[in-house]
Structure 1
């Protein structure tokens, strides 16, 4: 069981880290904006991010999930999964009806879209067919935690800031390219500080966004355990997920790549997440049923397949 004071401390640390990372993203975005148009460029770039975030918050989760190739999974097709999700929603204090979606992918994956007032969770066919009821409970609790904390909205803002940084640095590069003949003729000098800024800003923005994503994933794991009281269930699901991921990499490269750079990942390493879960595994139990029980769909779901889409 996760101690309440430990979870509160983790939430506080997560909040402070989120503020610092978003502050770093704001500063990184402001630099090319200032180089392009002075204080007005900073104001316009930040205003564009705010407008983008507001527009994305108005977009219903069902539209985003539909664009990703997921379709609504009715309770008649998966009553046990819906019952499990309703239990988790109630425990998380979410008053909206659970919105469950299905994607016909063999990959073991699930993701949440939206916030606590308008959100949905998508699950893949591989997830439903390969995870046990206990493991599925841990994964769904993780996604419910994302919804409750509005993680997808936070990451949408970070993504908008990263894209805006890339666009602004590209505009600065074009401005330098246009003025390059004049500089070479002796009427000016190469702005080395500006060149360094536009070279570093996009990479720094991406790294900050990835750090923010990893931070939210750690917190969602803790919140999931607070909902289920079963860290071993989520840890077991992570083992299955890592086993599939390792098999996919081995089939792609002939063997698993020996080096994975931690700060280039959207999620923390599976080993690190399992280690953290093991630290709070004081009294493991299975609140969602036997560890060997799976919950297949009652009937196959006719879903339009989309090529080229990769699930997180």
Structure 2
């Protein structure tokens, strides 16, 4: 993939994420202004910044303990550690993320922390199912989240969601106060303000999900650039989708099962992500020669 094509795709992804982020910020400040005027606007902004600063101070080790993870030392998974170190160097991270093993049979991996204190967790199910090539795509994807500061951005986005739920409580109180006043012909609070307060959580939820989907596409692009092998991540995603849906047994389930609309999902559809990655594949040259890597063994875990 040429540098111009990469920058163009990166710019489009960043532009979408920035637009969503500004919309959420404007909504939050607007809610503060609706309640207390200019003073409410200032308080909403101040509380958001203070809480964000506190949330980013939580250590990655503490978060991993919460999920039941334990450190995965290089001696236990030397090839995986070597792979992670190379990907982190290519991404320009100041520190190689710490690996954590989660004794869970689900197929999952997630990143936490910051660029200075990064960590990536991998479940037992993922290690038992995925080969090293597939893991390279998954690790590159999680490293991309760390590199792009997505973890900090997601913390801020979650704060917006919490604040809007808090504001909606005032909207409900104002609604109960407004109805009797309306029927008595007295002066009432603006119905537009009440509607905004009540609908805010729903609007922010839709924005949060759109923001998350945008960051996933961006991380996929960065992962393809780090490995030079978009098909590695595409194959891994298809494997994750297959097993997490129940494998071949899922083929016999009723087609009437409830499906979550894309607009309410925090991740894009797997088929859409795979399609994008397959289309990118001809533009890249794989950066790993897997024939030179020794077979992986996880029995030591």
**Match of residue 70 from structure 2:** 71
**Match of residue 152 from structure 1:** 151
**Match of residue 295 from structure 1:** 296
**Match of residue 32 from structure 2:** 33
Compute the displacement of 1:70 (Å). Answer: 1.7
Alignment of structure 1 residues 56-135 onto 2, 5 Å: 56-135=55-134
The number of equivalent residue pairs is: 297
| 2-structure distance, mates of 1:297, 1:89 | 22
Please give the secondary structure, in 2, of the residue aligned with 1:123: strand
Please give the secondary structure, in 2, of the residue aligned with 1:24: helix
**Match of residue 279 from structure 2:** 279
Residues 1:266 and 2:266 aligned together: yes
Compute the displacement of 1:250 (Å). Answer: 6.9
Compute the displacement of 1:31 (Å). Answer: 2.9
| 1-structure distance, mates of 2:287, 2:299 | 24
Q: Is the 8 A contact 2:168 2:199 kept in 1?
A: no
Q: Is the 8 A contact 1:145 1:224 kept in 2?
A: yes
Tell me the TM-score normalized by structure 2. 0.90
| 1-structure distance, mates of 2:205, 2:69 | 27
Change (3 A) 1:183 1:69: farther
- Aligned structure 1 segments of 4 or more residues deviating by more than 6 angstroms: 248-251
| 2-structure distance, mates of 1:191, 1:23 | 25
**Match of residue 307 from structure 1:** none
**Alpha-carbon RMSD:** 2.4
Change (3 A) 1:248 1:178: farther
Q: Is the 8 A contact 1:129 1:296 kept in 2?
A: no
* Structure 2 alignment gaps of length 5 or more: none
| 2-structure distance, mates of 1:75, 1:275 | 34
Residues 1:55 and 2:54 aligned together: yes
Tell me the TM-score normalized by structure 1. 0.87
For residues 242-265 of structure 1, give each alpha carbon's deviation from its aligned partner in whole angstroms, at most 9, with x where no partner exists. 1023228976x9435364411111
Please give the secondary structure, in 2, of the residue aligned with 1:280: helix
> Which has the higher relative contact order, 1 or 2, with Cα contacts under 8 A spaced 6 or more apart?
1
**Match of residue 167 from structure 1:** 166
| 1-structure distance, mates of 2:289, 2:38 | 56
Q: Is the 8 A contact 2:174 2:194 kept in 1?
A: no
Alignment of structure 1 residues 9-24 onto 2, 5 Å: 9-24=8-23
Compute the displacement of 1:181 (Å). Answer: 4.3
